[in-house]
Amino acid sequence: MDARAQRETLITLSNAGVSRGGRTLVSGVDLTIARGEIVTLIGPNGSGKSTTAKLATGVLKPSTGTVVRKPGLRIGYVPQKLTIDWTLPLTVDRLMTLTGRFSAAEIDAALEAVGARRLLKAAVQELSGGEFQRVLFARAMIRKPDLLVLDEPVQGVDFSGEVALYELVRQIRDTTQSGILMISHDLHVVMAETDTVICLNGHVCCRGTPSMVKRSPEYLKLFGERAAGSLAIYQHHHDHEHHDDGCVTPQGHAHEHHHDHTGDHGHHDHAGHDHVR
């Protein structure tokens, strides 16, 4: 904690909220991200994760509360899902300079860092899901961002790919010391390196370190009994996952569970919370 206190604060959201056409998308969010810190937002669909991330990046202005960003904050963004139409001819090389100009040496170095240098001349449509995700990481990193925003970075990637990507996130954090804001609707897997997990459902339900959130009654309330105890904390070199039924499986399985849960969320929506809509 002491070490973190000295780190430069990149973003501070204080009681921030967004309303659109009389509807509150998200409210009362307090959040700070400092250099080298990993913050993960979890919550069901429509819980305000993306809205909160947009507040942080400055794409949305808060309707209530304040958002203070470090002046000149540089953001690198890894989108949730990016399909590039066949009609657009795009090599990995060209994708790297999509939003800014970079030298060949910088491009090489960024791709090298994610182990994708051999893909330099490949067409993006040719890449596998994992390869493309790595390239997108490299593209965001080449900007030397102060803040890296990852929108569901492991979606659609198989378990070994998922492990590798989390590993990559950890590496990026260690080498670049950028702050990392990760969005996930995967309620089960949260990186162990995450400093703060914020559990959203229109408001902040609970927050804390992964192990704190896992035990919090609000987390259980929000994600239902079946989620009880199932927040797996992704540790270094894990090759399996613990489930609520006690079994340990080599992944792939968790996603099915997780979809069941999202389907249920409407029913426990706000139940037992004293927050007003």
Partner 1 sequence: MDITTMRGMTMFGDYFSRALIAGMGLALVAGPLGCFVVWRRMAYFGDTMAHSALLGVALSILLSVNMTLGVFAVAALVAGALIVLQRQATLSTDALLGILSHSTLAVGLVLVGFLTTVRIDLMGFLFGDILAVSVEDIAIIYGGGLAILLILILAWRPLLASTVSPELAEAEGLRPEASRLVLMILMASVIAIAMKLVGVLLITSLLIIPAATARRLSATPEMMAVVAAVLGAIAVVGGLFGSRTWDTASGPSIVVMALLIFLVSLAVPVTRLFGRGETHGA
By CB under 8 A, tell whether 124 contacts partner 1.
yes
The site map against partner 1 for 41-80 (x = CB under 8 A) is -------------x--x-x---------------xxx-x-
H or E element, residue 268: helix 253-268
Q: In angstroms, rounded to a whole number, what is the distance separating the alpha carbons of residues 21 and 58?
A: 20
Q: Single out the residue of 90, 42, 44, 91 nearest to residue 197, CA to CA.
A: 42
Q: Which residues, including other chains, have CB under 8 Å from residue 34's CB and lie 6 or more apart?
A: 4, 7, 8, 9, 10, 179
Least distance to partner 1 from the beta carbon of 11, Å? Answer: 13
Name the residue nearer to partner 1 (CB basis): 143 or 258: 143
Residue 175 is a binding residue for partner 1 (CB under 8 A)? no
Instruction: Select from 98-106, 154-162, 182-190, 262-270 the region that touches partner 1 (CB under 8 A).
Output: 98-106
Give the start-end residues of each E strand in 93-178: 147-151
Bridge partners, residue 64, by sequence: 17
Q: Is residue 23 close enough to count as binding partner 1 by CB under 8 A?
A: no
Determine if 132 is a binding residue for partner 1 (CB under 8 A): no
Contact residue for partner 1 among 125, 128, 171, 249 (CB under 8 A): 125
CA separation for the pair 182, 253 (Å, rounded): 22
Q: Which residue has the tokens 């993960």?
A: 40
Residue 87 near partner 1 by CB under 8 A: yes
Is residue 123 at the binding interface for partner 1, with CB under 8 A as the rule? Answer: yes
* Distance (Å, whole) CA 62 – CA 13: 9
Structural contact between residues 98 and 53, judged by C-beta atoms closer than 8 angstroms: no
CB of 190 to partner 1, least distance (A): 22
Residues that bind partner 1 in the complex, under the rule CB under 8 A: 54, 57, 59, 75-77, 79, 82, 84-91, 94-95, 98-100, 121-126, 143, 149
